[in-house]
Structure 1
Amino acid sequence: MTYDRALPRAERLAMPLARDVAEEVAKQYGVCIRPVPLKRLDTHTGLWEIIDVPCGATLEAKCPPCAKRNRHLRMAQCREGWHLDQEPTITPDEPNDEQRWLVEFRADVQAQRDQADQEGQDTTDLDELIDGLDEEINAAGMRGNVLGRTVPKRNRSTKRRQDAPELPKRKMINSTLGRTFTSSDGKIYRPSLFVTLTLPSYGKVKNGVPVDPDTYDYARAARDALHFSKLIDRFVQNLRRVAGYDVQYFAAVEPQKRLAPHLHMAIRGTLPRAEIKQIAAATYHQVWWPAADRVVFDGDHLPVWEDGTGYLDPSTGEVLPTWDQALDQLDTDETADPLHVIRFGAQVDVQGVLAGSPDADQCIRYLSKYLTKSLGDSLDPDDQAQRDHAARLAEALRFEPCSPACPNWLRYGVQPKGAKPGMTPGQCRSKAHKPDHLGYAGRRVLVSRKWSNKTLAEHKQDRRTWVLEALGQPNEPTDPHRYVWKPVPAGDANIAPLAVRLLRSVHERQRWRAHLRELEARATGQDLSATKDTGRAA
């Protein structure tokens, strides 16, 4: 078919773009549609080449093939860890050259900072450099702070609230495995749990929408969403105390139709259903932050920034209390109440699950069902009532502080932690304030450290090993120092158009599939020519 310029304009505009068609074909073959081009130097041969690296997106809206692969990895991770019958053994890796260099550099900067402090010099820049290095150290695959906690932890009373019931406590044993049960025929069962936890009601709803929006408690719904991740942490702590062993879990946070987050959790081992419900009822989290109920600055009357000083009251010129000063004042107030107390709702679902059962597979699929969607994707674009409900929730979240560093603290007369010029209440850039997150800023997938005895990177390596073995390719360990990777500058003339790169990847994937079909046909004794014809037809 040739392109006919004589076609009417309407017909030409109705034609799909070639790049869009290439993307659709790439999706069908599981090829990343947003590959990142990187330059790779092979130090053995001295040759440079450009490699398309998958973007690794976890959301379908960004890259469906990468999101699908991530979902399958999470399903494998969940399946492998749920019903382990042997204790996982986790041996820390040996530090690599990059990790050693980062720690050595961190030590040099710390020494400079200590010397400057002794001489009475300003250490602000060095403190910022140290904070950045600590983040790089964690990103490089090291856990914890090099020097431990450098700022004393603030401790409030740990005495349980009078309105929260006490919990039973078992003696802790060094195990991650649950109890086993032996049937009358001698067969041993090791059941586990699938638990769903929700937040309380904020008002009567119908089809996910408040019956009376004016009485619906949007303020509480907003704060509960912001601090939901902390409530999950408390639940896990209480669960382990009651269980008496190091409970391991795989959990996913999803939105309900009413847009409140709720939790699905696969738990290794089992406890009585009544105890799980008792733990949920007794779990709470107190948010000890400065008061955020009285508006001090609003509209055109906002704090002003002064270099070297911080934010000032625009009327009096007084310096606003810093975050630490506001907490100090809170600590000395014996009559103070927490800013917010978050609890689970009364609806708690607990199911027993056996390894290898259809129920286990169904729960795993359910856990991973929405991992490729953002929380905001639960909105029905054709349901105006639900969209209005989401807009009211977003407005309730707009001026709600989401963290100590949130610019919204200026609205309530407090300088945010790490205050800097340009902060404006109502314009926080954290993901908690983005409409797609519905106030929840935590991780969507929560996996305990001893769950499957593997990291997600190791699960990826398992998949790679399987593919190489199926293709008959060697799976030899790669010399970590063999290749040098560099980013490709924008507009590099050596980079082919995206459609061309996608089609190259599709061709490579077609070749892999043909090879796999051929190997499968040989293993089953099928006619290879028939298999090739089928492959071409497909």
Structure 2
Amino acid sequence: MLTDELVRRAAISYGVCVRPVLSRVTDTVTGESRTVPIPCGATRAAVCPSCAERARRLRMQQCREGWHLAAEPPVLEPSPDDAPEGDDGDQGDDDDGIDDARRVRSTRRREDVPDLPRLPISAHTVGRVFESPDGKTYRPSMFLTLTMPSYGRVTSEGVPADPASYDYRRAGLDAMHFPKLVDRFWQNLRRATGFNVQYFAAVEPQRRLAPHLHAAVRGAIPRALLRQVVAATYHQVWWPSCEFPVYSGNRLPVWDEKQGGYVDAGGWLLPTWDEALDDLDSDTDAEPVHVLRFGRQVDMQGILAGTPQADRAVGYLTKYLTKSISDPMGDDDYQPSPARRAHVDRLAAEVRWLPCSPTCANWLRYGTQPKNARPGLEPGRCTSKAHDRDHLGLGGRRVLVSRRWTGKTLTEHRADRAAVVRAALAEAGVEMDEHDQYSTTATGPDGRPRYVWEPVRFDRDADRPSYARIIGHAIDRRRRWREQYEQAKQATRPPPGDVSATAPASPEGNPPCPPT
């Protein structure tokens, strides 16, 4: 008898989602009803290895396609349904404002960082072409790695040699505000180079669990200038003090409906977020609560299109996208040591209680009402994923892509992969399954939607199909698609020595699923 675990392993080997979302679709014309599995779309291998690997390979295609462009890509218009990842704009002054809407501090740069050249930014995004003495031309790009500074000496396993002296608070704050530092770096780099630098970047944890950035950068930039920009990039956090908690345990502030805010045990109303910032503005000697900088370790490599080095860099850049932040090295058989578990526990405890944003409930611990305070807030229970053990402060996206990297959305890249399969099958004369037979846009004779979709509730639907049956059908379908695709590739493959025939391009890994 096939157990659910055996079926799950078979699904992973065929690239089938192991935890699909089930929907029941009913044909209003024939009255036929069937259960349809929809892939969960998870990006973590611990949740669904098949969907996570599919998402990683899609990112590999996106990275590879935009890295070495020789022509300007189209301008990607923002869409509410498929907005591009990352930041691609100018955030304004060199020194951050307390409140982006109306509070702006001095634009004077810090005295402890070097000045940067500031050039008008041109619109071009394609890198320069270089010519060698023998007449060959090259259009190199770059692979860049940025790291954070040290918080204390660590062992080869990535755990602190002396946990008591390791600066966990600074490590937690750096992780929480790391995306802002990265945004500032791209702004400074564009201003210093004078062109619209484009990038595909992945935020990953080092062995010591500090975040670092791998980035494919289009075009070549002088290494000395890159190091200068890294050294001159910083981000200041102008917040009320959050170094020492004022309330803890059972002494937490509570919501008072009459006063419209949170009060302490003595009935005193805590200062609002705006009042706390007003006090900060009035203090001429005030310092930012935290300042982020990159570490000294910077790696820069020149990359040429079509080389094995370029392929290796794409794979390395996306290598850990399916792993969690707290377990970047782990797999099913990995067992962390007690010292490493203690290191993760200590960092997770730190980020749980640190405020992650002006609206974070943790501000109540420090005697300040969060921005837009409302009833029900409780320190330690902020809903931001930055506080989760799996993220360890990194609440933003793991993949950052500039708006003019390829001029395509991720949905369009996914459609490109499916189009490759369709083209190969069509050229080989293989008839594809009718994948849009349950389309939500199909209408019946009365002009109303022909197919009605409704979710299957596992806790209520007694007639739901078994897990093995649903996944088994999906495996059979995927196996049939794979066989058809392999036959199509064999049929269209040029004979040995025939360079005139052109075989269809093959996507990496399993063929993508045509849309349902």
**Alignment of 1:498 onto 2:467:** yes
Local SS of the residue matching 2:9: helix
Counterpart in the other structure of 1:344:
294
**Alignment of 1:325 onto 2:310:** no
Q: Would you say the 8 A contact 2:424–2:489 is kept in 1? A: no
Local SS of the residue matching 1:370: coil
Change in Cα spacing, 1:37 to 1:312, as seen in structure 2 (3 Å) is closer
Q: Give, in whole Å, the separation in 2 of the partners of 1:86 and 1:450.
A: 11
- What amino acid is the match of 1:87? E
- What amino acid is the match of 2:75? I
Q: Would you say the 8 A contact 2:26–2:32 is kept in 1? A: yes
Counterpart in the other structure of 2:50:
65
Question: Which among 139, 146, 167 is matched to residue 190 of structure 1?
Answer: 139
**Alignment of 1:153 onto 2:98:** no
Shift of 1:300: 1.7
- What amino acid is the match of 2:293? R
Counterpart in the other structure of 1:509:
478
Counterpart in the other structure of 1:89:
74
Counterpart in the other structure of 1:27:
12
Q: Would you say the 8 A contact 1:381–1:387 is kept in 2? A: no
Question: Which among 368, 385, 390 is matched to residue 431 of structure 1?
Answer: 385
Q: Would you say the 8 A contact 2:27–2:452 is kept in 1? A: no
Deviations 1:6-39 (A, max 9, x none): xxxxxxxxxxx61111111111111111111224
Q: Would you say the 8 A contact 1:303–1:311 is kept in 2? A: no
**Alignment of 1:401 onto 2:361:** no
| TM-score between the two structures when normalised by the length of structure 2 | 0.83
Shift of 1:400: 1.0
**Alignment of 1:487 onto 2:446:** no
Q: What is the Cα-based RMSD across aligned positions, in Å? A: 2.8
Change in Cα spacing, 1:468 to 1:392, as seen in structure 2 (3 Å) is same
Local SS of the residue matching 2:300: strand
**Alignment of 1:80 onto 2:49:** no
Shift of 1:318: 2.0
Shift of 1:378: 2.5
Q: Would you say the 8 A contact 1:226–1:441 is kept in 2? A: yes
Counterpart in the other structure of 1:163:
112
Q: Would you say the 8 A contact 1:310–1:419 is kept in 2? A: no
Identity of aligned residues (%): 51
Q: Would you say the 8 A contact 2:320–2:328 is kept in 1? A: no
Local SS of the residue matching 1:194: strand
- What amino acid is the match of 1:438? L
Map 1:330-409; keep pairs closer than 5 Å. Answer: 330-378=280-328, 381-409=335-363
Change in Cα spacing, 1:92 to 1:403, as seen in structure 2 (3 Å) is closer
Q: Give, in whole Å, the separation in 2 of the partners of 1:451 and 1:311.
A: 46
Q: Give, in whole Å, the separation in 1 of the partners of 2:269 and 2:261.
A: 6
Counterpart in the other structure of 1:129:
none
Map 1:129-144; keep pairs closer than 5 Å. Answer: 138-139=80-81
**Alignment of 1:176 onto 2:131:** no
5+ long unaligned stretches in structure 1 = 4-16, 96-137, 145-149, 527-538
Change in Cα spacing, 1:44 to 1:343, as seen in structure 2 (3 Å) is farther
Shift of 1:453: 1.5
* 494-503 or 379-388: bigger deviation: 379-388
Deviations 1:199-231 (A, max 9, x none): 011111121122222211111111111111110
Q: Give, in whole Å, the separation in 2 of the partners of 1:525 and 1:173.
A: 45
Larger Rg: 1
Local SS of the residue matching 1:436: coil
Shift of 1:518: 2.8
Shift of 1:471: 2.8
Question: Which among 468, 472, 482 is matched to residue 422 of structure 2?
Answer: 468
Q: Would you say the 8 A contact 2:84–2:401 is kept in 1? A: no
Map 1:205-284; keep pairs closer than 5 Å. Answer: 205-207=154-156, 208-284=158-234
Shift of 1:41: 5.9
Q: Would you say the 8 A contact 2:199–2:217 is kept in 1? A: yes
- What amino acid is the match of 1:79? R
Question: Which among 276, 298, 307 is matched to residue 248 of structure 2?
Answer: 298
- What amino acid is the match of 1:59? R
Shift of 1:308: 5.4
Q: Give, in whole Å, the separation in 2 of the partners of 1:476 and 1:454.
A: 27
- Number of aligned residues: 463
Q: Give, in whole Å, the separation in 2 of the partners of 1:476 and 1:23.
A: 26
Question: Which among 30, 38, 44 is matched to residue 23 of structure 2?
Answer: 38
Counterpart in the other structure of 2:90:
none
Local SS of the residue matching 1:457: helix
Change in Cα spacing, 1:52 to 1:228, as seen in structure 2 (3 Å) is same
Local SS of the residue matching 1:435: coil
Q: Give, in whole Å, the separation in 1 of the partners of 2:159 and 2:82.
A: 44
Change in Cα spacing, 1:83 to 1:41, as seen in structure 2 (3 Å) is farther
Q: Give, in whole Å, the separation in 2 of the partners of 1:476 and 1:241.
A: 51
Q: Would you say the 8 A contact 1:469–1:475 is kept in 2? A: no
Shift of 1:54: 0.8
Q: Give, in whole Å, the separation in 1 of the partners of 2:372 and 2:251.
A: 22
Q: Give, in whole Å, the separation in 2 of the partners of 1:354 and 1:475.
A: 40
Change in Cα spacing, 1:186 to 1:142, as seen in structure 2 (3 Å) is closer
Shift of 1:348: 0.6
- What amino acid is the match of 1:29? Y
Map 1:116-131; keep pairs closer than 5 Å. Answer: none
Q: Would you say the 8 A contact 1:56–1:66 is kept in 2? A: yes
Map 1:441-480; keep pairs closer than 5 Å. Answer: 441-472=395-426, 473=431
Q: Give, in whole Å, the separation in 2 of the partners of 1:331 and 1:350.
A: 40
Q: Give, in whole Å, the separation in 1 of the partners of 2:29 and 2:105.
A: 59
- What amino acid is the match of 2:417? R
Q: Give, in whole Å, the separation in 2 of the partners of 1:435 and 1:256.
A: 16
Shift of 1:480: 7.1
Change in Cα spacing, 1:329 to 1:48, as seen in structure 2 (3 Å) is farther
**Alignment of 1:520 onto 2:470:** no
Q: Would you say the 8 A contact 2:76–2:408 is kept in 1? A: no
- What amino acid is the match of 1:394? A
Q: Would you say the 8 A contact 2:176–2:395 is kept in 1? A: yes
Q: Give, in whole Å, the separation in 2 of the partners of 1:296 and 1:311.
A: 17
| TM-score between the two structures when normalised by the length of structure 1 | 0.80
* 266-275 or 310-319: bigger deviation: 310-319
Shift of 1:87: 0.5
* 356-365 or 477-486: bigger deviation: 477-486
Q: Would you say the 8 A contact 1:189–1:354 is kept in 2? A: yes
- What amino acid is the match of 1:193? M
Q: Give, in whole Å, the separation in 2 of the partners of 1:45 and 1:183.
A: 70
Counterpart in the other structure of 1:200:
149
